[in-house]
Amino acid sequence: MKKSFVFLTTLITVVNLSVSAQSDSISFEADSSIDSSLVHIPGVSFYDLEFAYSEFAEFAKMVDKPYFVDFYATWCAPCKLMDELVYSDPEIADHVNANLLAYKVNVEFFDGMDISETYNVKQYPTILFFNSDGKMVGRESGLYSADGFRGLLKKYFP
């Protein structure tokens, strides 16, 4: 009986250590897979957190261009669709790249969290529209088609 108890206790300890080690390695792998670089989107040219947001806003004022800020997360399916269907649309890309500036904020990073907190962004994607003086002129959340996004550009930047 005593041998069975010792064997069972040892077995439970080994299993717990094994499960604990597996869960630690899983969370480490998940954490290390986060990439700080922005995935290149053919089409709209975005600035990202490599260029501090405050510097970006000052740059927009200096070059006298309106801009929009896209808040996204890598796990957000509608955000990925915006990249694939809207920002890669040639007509939208040409218009934005010629007339506006665009900034992408990954809310999974501390800088992105700070910026999203400043503007009370809680839903993704959220797009904020600013005039060339840095005054917010519009805010939209959710997935848009290319035509829908064209409408937003006309609405906020006539």
Residues 55-101: tens digit of each pLDDT? 999 999 999 999 999 999 999 999 999 999 999 999 999 999 999 99
Choice among 60, 79, 100, 105 that is catalytic? 79
Examine the residue annotation and report whether 31 is marked as an active-site residue of this protein: no
Alpha carbon distance 52, 18 (integer Å): 43
Concerning whether 133 is annotated as a catalytic residue, the answer is: no
In a domain, 38, yes or no: no
Whether 67 and 18 map to the same domain: the answer is no
Q: Are residues 88 and 17 in the same domain?
A: no
Range of the domain at 9: 1-33
pTM for this one? Answer: 0.72
Residue holding tokens 């709209």?
Answer: 44
Q: pLDDT value at position 41?
A: 55
Do 82 and 15 belong together in one domain? no
29 and 57: one domain?
no
Query: Per-residue pLDDT tens for 21-63?
Result: 433 333 333 333 333 333 445 789 998 878 899 999 999 999 9
One DSSP character per residue, 97-111 reads: HHH-EEEEEETTSHH
The size of the chain, in residues, is: 158
From the candidates 76, 85, 146, 152, give the one annotated as an active-site residue: 76
Assess if residue 39 is contained within a domain: no
Among the listed residues 67, 90, 83, the one whose alpha carbon sits nearest the alpha carbon of residue 138: 67
Q: What average pLDDT does this structure show over 128-145?
A: 97
Tally Cβ neighbours within 10 Å of residue 76: 17
Domain at 118, CATH number: 3.40.30.10
| Number of domains observed in the structure of the chain | 2
SS3 content of the chain, % helix, strand, coil (to 5): 55, 15, 30
48 within some domain: no
Between the two ends of the chain, the Cα-to-Cα distance in Å is: 84
Specify whether 91 is located in the same domain as 28.
no
